[in-house]
A and B are shown apart, each in its own frame.
Chain A
């Protein structure tokens, strides 16, 4: 609001009456020092300065933890888990029983087995026929497995490794695996390339464990 009235002006006479003596130097310094101390009782490290330090300490700690976790994960992955180790054992076992086939057909031995999927009730001729076709197609196109086929095949091999009657399978290299049910029992159907280059398709029925030649 503008001072536009005479009584709005500062009254210099009253101002002179009201003007107190200035503070003496000692008192002023004491007042300032007390106020500064009240704001921050620990002047050596102000709160604002300490906050970034604490933040950096937390960040550094978090970074170390992340590095350790990544390192541990990498180490675990390199060694492989228990399941991976068991699967490797099964692979060795299967490959060990088909050493002759590996010599005869090195390219087939190098290719991983492929899971062609679940075909349902294999007592139905049509389903069995489709499974057989899928297995044989995998043999002819072993170098180009289905998407995710290796993972599924690993699952099939893992199941196979748990079956005690797997030794009844013919000696050779397993190139493809399928699944379904026979007589109401879960069954894995494997295509094995024999040493002479011929193939054998067999079903490994679970509970009770039994190998049934299908070819």
Chain B
């Protein structure tokens, strides 16, 4: 069963085969978590979103119609779970879940140890949600524009625009030198339009 295709496993799972569903969930757990991790940009909240996404997949496998690839369907569910988690987090008190940089004790040793991870999370949090999701689906999940448009229910032109702007903002924050004069020395988030139809 470990070698069976996603489509076969999904078909059997939708017919009530628990073992097939278990294999599917185990197989895609890392990718579902990766989407949630980068969209939510917070490790603990990302685990909550991952759990919600996997529960949604387990309960909704009957509705998977096979028109899209199973991975695409998983990414759609994971994206929605991550965005829901973001909305929940923003309703919580600030002290419980700060939206800003994670509370890390100052000191060069700790920064050296976890600096890279903190930089990515901090940079991602500075991106508008729409841009962040589009970049994650394109560059982390390797979905093409049409698939992203399908997952986000957006026109492809809008997807293209969001990816382009999101990439530029991300590079500006993670590699200012490479971002060129526009990004060099400027760590303040650039004003961006939230609803750009490309």
Contacts and interface: CB of A to CB of B under 8 A. Distances in A.
B139 A36 contact: no
A174 to B, nearest CB: 72
Contacts, number: 97
Contact of A36 (B21, B135, B138, B156): B21
Interface residues of A, number: 32
B29 interface: yes
Nearest to A11: B139
B88 to A, nearest CB: 18
Nearest to A8: B145
A5 to B, nearest CB: 8
B120 interface: yes
Contacts of B167: 7, 11, 14
B26 A32 contact: yes
Interface residues of B, number: 40
A215 B49 CA distance: 105
Nearest to B54: A35
Contact of B164 (A7, A15, A22, A31): A7
B162 interface: no
B30 interface: yes
B145 A14 contact: no
B149 interface: yes
B136 interface: yes
Contact of A1 (B18, B47, B149, B174): B149
Contacts of B138: 10-11
Interface in A1-32: 1-3, 7-8, 10-12, 14-15, 17-20, 22-23, 27-29, 31-32
Interface of B: 15-16, 18, 21-22, 25-26, 29-30, 33-34, 37-38, 47, 50-51, 54-55, 57-59, 120, 135-136, 138-140, 142, 144-146, 149, 156, 160, 163-164, 167, 170-171, 174
Interface of A: 1-3, 7-8, 10-12, 14-15, 17-20, 22-23, 27-29, 31-32, 34-36, 38-40, 43, 46-49
